[in-house]
Structure 1
Amino acid sequence: PIKGNTSATSGCGSREGLPAHRVLTGCVLALLIIWTLLGNFTVCAAVYRYRHLRAKVTNIFIVSLALSDLLVALLVMPWKAVAEVAGFWPFGGFCKTWLACDIMCSTASILNLCVISVDRYWAISNPFRYERSMTRRVASVIIGVTWTVSVVISFVPVQLNWHRAEIGDPTGEGLAHHGDNIDDGSCDSSLSRTYAISSSLISFYIPVAIMIVTYTRIYRIAQMQIRMILSLERAAEHAQSCRSEPSNQPHCELKVSIRKETKVLKTLSIIMGVFVCCWLPFFILNCALPFCPGPGAPAAQRGPYCVSEKTFDVFVWIGWSNSSLNPVIYAFNADFRDAFLRLLRCRRRGFLAAVSAAVETIMASNQAGNTKRESPMKVRLDVSCEWGTPLIKVTSALSFLRDTISHDNVHNNKLATL
């Protein structure tokens, strides 16, 4: 996210030891980073491995979202986690580059969420036109624009120092900027009011407004479609549960309609609720902190939004945690769930295939020493995994196989290992 009046962590006095609370914090943050990496990598691997997922244009946006969240876990989270545990910024001049990566990746993640909402609204509101117009080329252009905007509002201002509030700024553009403070072990970048507000508008407030509008309309369209489908079903035949009591049919249909509409509303509420809860507190503080007086100002002049550095860091991590939740929310539909299960199943079978191949090699060497003996083991190939190596399945019983190998090893003066 865009940084307000915060440092990655400061205070060189804590370099000597690691308090227990920092070790615990490091473990929690490590788990969050690993989960974010695994979740988003699995989404990308599933789309790469399975053709039917690649065939859907809308999954291009899911992959773009997963890549942005993957970059958050690779380029942003680890460095901040190390700084949190160490108690200071140990990466020196990398501070400015890290800040630009933070802004770029977080903005790209949020903009991809906005693009997905617009894509789904278009697909539901005008499906025929969507099928004709939303080609891979159009989707690629949209993704290119999304990432270009993310780069432009991050690397360009940060590298040119347009984002900073300067010391003694007569226009009152923000808090005094103390530089990157690399020498004293901190990575501090106080934002000017102009940059904080404009970047927050592009990175969050405009996208969230678009998402609210699109998901509200999606719900209304789904509501109308549910009622239309129920009316068509009523015209075709009565529901089984209502046949015995025709007088209760309208009541039953109303219950079914309410149940389906509630399910749609629940799904959309989770999508918007998780996103807003993760990012809204941070962006409120991000716009408010540049208006806070300097650290030496009396407490009476500091408003409730002038929070401490540690409090602000907590909201930063809550915002980043949205990248760990996106794979669960956006990729766990039926198609992706099946792909994930097949990925896990094929990897497990791949391991078993290696074991089976080793057993087959042992049997072959035993047969070379005893050509008169027929092989008691039948092997067949199974290509049930769409992308994996053909799976070797041993059809003989394990106990019989063990006895056979042991007998052959003894017969050939070899040591039985099974």
Structure 2
Amino acid sequence: MESQDGAELCFPQLFNTSCKKPAPPWTEVILLHILPSFISVLTVTLNLLVIISVSHFRQLHTPTNIILLSLAVSDFLMGLLLMPVEILRNTACWFLGDLVCSLYNSLSFIITSASVGDMVLISVDRYVAICDPLHYPTRVTENRVKLCVCLCWLCSVFYGSLIVIDVFITPGRHNSCCGEINVDYIAGTIDLVVSFIVPVIVIVVLYLRVFVVAVSQARAMRSHVTAVTLQVSVSQTTRKSELKAARTLGVLVVVFLICFIPYYCVSLAGEDFLSGSYVYYFIFLFYFNSTLNPVIYALFYPWFRKAVELVVTLQILQPGSCEANIL
């Protein structure tokens, strides 16, 4: 019996402190390993297409697309770094040590907070575009948006390093047993407030305002549908474009909330709920948002579909391809 019990441990030589080896049935292996691995590869591939498209084609270098590029980078890192480690920690023992565990926790906070920060920037961008369209070109410039994106990432790096500094100082302090990794409950609570509650309040308030203004503008456009002057026609075309962008990015924000809310609701429930094995599904729903974002672009943005076609067919390797007409 002792040898059998020892064989079930991650570290058989540490009888009192070692975690047990996960031994899920084959049906759970499919749900916990094969399917998430496919989602991870899909996330990396789709977001890489977004990154190449927006970076390569000069016509796509707009303030809004710069924020989408930043979001695609965080989603790409989510699929490349966080998803595989999450699969590993839930389907096998943790053999990578406390240092890698600390780095993973830090990266998790950095990438997640950067993604949330990008969502806030998207909401601010749409708020200015819809609620103050006359000043949008002068207030929301490429240089200002690039500065905001850089500040978002710098703050995320500082925040991610700060929130796990205790783990680096005293490695293994928050591990309940060898072969397992956990996030400190206090750090998780701070993350809940900073990375979810406050940003969600900002996003919801801004988009409610955008929704009210967008509805009033749509009614105004319908009431002036008989106008025939070129100036009015151009103005209406611009407004329709901005409203369509607001709807698309609104879908992006709604999907973000749907994917993030379940995990943070479980976090609010307390430490006992976070220790349950089922929380893995909430975490992966949390990460699955990174897979859905480029799918939303493909459904709503014709420029993205055209850009992907040029990327996949390697036409971007031709001289002058960056000047191609995408819009």
Q: Report the TM-score, using the length of structure 1 for normalisation.
A: 0.62
CA deviations 1:371-392 (Å, max 9, x no partner) are xxxxxxxxxxxx698259xxxx
**2:131·2:213 contact (CA, 8 Å) conserved in 1?**
yes
Determine the C-alpha separation between the residues in 2 that align with 1:115 and 1:337. 24
Amino acid at match of 1:184: C
Match of 1:386 in 2: 321
- Looking at secondary structure, tell me which structure has more helix per residue: 2
Indicate whether 1:227 and 2:219 are aligned: yes
Alpha carbons of 1:384 and 1:147: their partners in 2 closer, same or farther (altered >3 Å)? Answer: closer
Determine the C-alpha separation between the residues in 1 that align with 2:119 and 2:246. 18
**2:102·2:168 contact (CA, 8 Å) conserved in 1?**
no
Determine the C-alpha separation between the residues in 2 that align with 1:163 and 1:103. 17
* Residue 23 (structure 1) shift: 3.4
Match of 1:361 in 2: none
For residue 127 of structure 1, the aligned residue among 126, 129, 133 is 133
Higher RCO (CA-CA < 8 Å; seq separation 6+): 2
Determine the C-alpha separation between the residues in 2 that align with 1:205 and 1:335. 33
Determine the C-alpha separation between the residues in 2 that align with 1:190 and 1:202. 15
Alpha carbons of 1:266 and 1:46: their partners in 2 closer, same or farther (altered >3 Å)? Answer: closer
**2:89·2:181 contact (CA, 8 Å) conserved in 1?**
no
Determine the C-alpha separation between the residues in 2 that align with 1:180 and 1:269. 40
Amino acid at match of 1:40: N
Indicate whether 1:80 and 2:72 are aligned: no
* Residue 196 (structure 1) shift: 3.3
Match of 1:321 in 2: 288
Match of 2:235 in 1: none
Determine the C-alpha separation between the residues in 1 that align with 2:154 and 2:246. 33
**1:61·1:116 contact (CA, 8 Å) conserved in 2?**
yes
* Residue 285 (structure 1) shift: 2.1
Alignment of 1:299-338 (within 5 A): 306=273, 308-330=275-297, 332-338=300-306
**2:167·2:174 contact (CA, 8 Å) conserved in 1?**
no
Determine the C-alpha separation between the residues in 1 that align with 2:117 and 2:226. 42
Alignment of 1:340-359 (within 5 A): 340-346=308-314
Amino acid at match of 1:309: G
SS for the counterpart of 1:233 is coil
Indicate whether 1:89 and 2:94 are aligned: yes
Match of 1:20 in 2: 26
Match of 2:117 in 1: 111
Identity of aligned residues (%): 27
CA deviations 1:159-208 (Å, max 9, x no partner) are 234999xxxxxxxxxxxx96335x7211123312xx43332121011111
Determine the C-alpha separation between the residues in 1 that align with 2:191 and 2:182. 18
Indicate whether 1:278 and 2:259 are aligned: yes
Range moving further from structure 2, 307-316 or 42-51:
307-316
**1:47·1:53 contact (CA, 8 Å) conserved in 2?**
yes
SS for the counterpart of 2:182 is coil
CA deviations 1:246-282 (Å, max 9, x no partner) are xxxxxxxxxxxxxxxx999975663343112111121
Determine the C-alpha separation between the residues in 1 that align with 2:207 and 2:292. 18
Determine the C-alpha separation between the residues in 2 that align with 1:42 and 1:11. 42
Amino acid at match of 1:90: F
* Residue 235 (structure 1) shift: 5.4
Amino acid at match of 1:191: Y
For residue 178 of structure 2, the aligned residue among 179, 184, 188 is 184
Structure 2 gaps, min length 5 = 1-16, 230-242
* Residue 287 (structure 1) shift: 3.1
CA deviations 1:343-393 (Å, max 9, x no partner) are 22345x98xxxxxxxxxxxxxxxxxxxxxxxxxxxxxxxx698259xxxxx
Match of 2:152 in 1: 146
Match of 1:413 in 2: none
CA deviations 1:8-56 (Å, max 9, x no partner) are xx975436x77413531211011110111011100010012211012x1
**1:219·1:264 contact (CA, 8 Å) conserved in 2?**
no
Q: Report the TM-score, using the length of structure 2 for normalisation.
A: 0.78
CA RMSD of aligned residues (A): 3.2
SS for the counterpart of 1:160 is helix
Match of 1:34 in 2: 41
Determine the C-alpha separation between the residues in 1 that align with 2:169 and 2:277. 22
Match of 2:4 in 1: none
